[in-house]
Structure 1
Amino acid sequence: MTHLETSQLIRRLQLLQRRLCEMANDLGNLTDPEIVAVSEEADSLIIQLQRLRKEEAEYRKMDGSYDDSVSVLTASQSTEEVGQQSRAFLVKHS
């Protein structure tokens, strides 16, 4: 996966998070099938980004060029930050 693809995944996740907030305000029911579907898509993106970060770290270790401070995800938030924001949303509104 390239840096551009990673950035696109992160942007898509951020859009989904905004959409979830809007839907929760409009529908007021977090178990609505539409909200559940968007939440599942966001979860899937978070998992993809976490796997990518893990693979990148493993590759850098094997390559001998591992630097914890450099990651393709540094162009935006880390997957942990994104995931924490997503989980905070679910905790706040559930």
Structure 2
Amino acid sequence: MDRLETTHLVRRLQLLQRRLCEMANDIGSLTDPEIVAVSEEADHLIIQLQRLRKEEAEYRRLAEISGLAGLTAPQLTEEVG
């Protein structure tokens, strides 16, 4: 998993969560279209993070099977590929 990408996604998600809280306090309705749009954006980020973590788990599993447990995901891809 690309740690920089993961860190970026997590920070962006945290910002969206703060924004959602502020908007909910200001607007007062969780069904407001603006709040729904921000919530959907947060959902997409969560899905991206889950996919990245799933890929990391697959790389680790492949590394264990291949005896390459010390390699990172990109190294493993080069080694296996």
TM-score by length of 1: 0.67
Unaligned runs of 5+ in 2: 71-81
CA RMSD in angstroms comes to 1.4
- 1:42-90: CA deviations, max 9, x gaps? 0000010011101100111111128xxxxxxxxxxxxxxxxxxxxxxxx
Fraction of identical pairs, as percent: 79
Determine the structure 2 residue equivalent to 1:13.
13
Unaligned runs of 5+ in 1: 67-94
Determine the structure 1 residue equivalent to 2:35.
35
Determine the structure 2 residue equivalent to 1:26.
26
After TM superposition, list the pairs within 5 Å mapping 1:1-94 onto structure 2. 2-64=2-64, 65=69
- 1:7-54: CA deviations, max 9, x gaps? 000000000000000000000011111000000000000010011101
Cα distance between partner residues in 2 of 1:46 and 1:6: 11
Cα distance between partner residues in 1 of 2:10 and 2:38: 15
Q: Which runs of 4+ in 1 moved over 3 A?
A: none
Aligned length: 66
Greater relative contact order (Cα < 8 A, sep 6+): 1
Cα distance between partner residues in 2 of 1:44 and 1:24: 19
**Structure with larger Rg:** 2
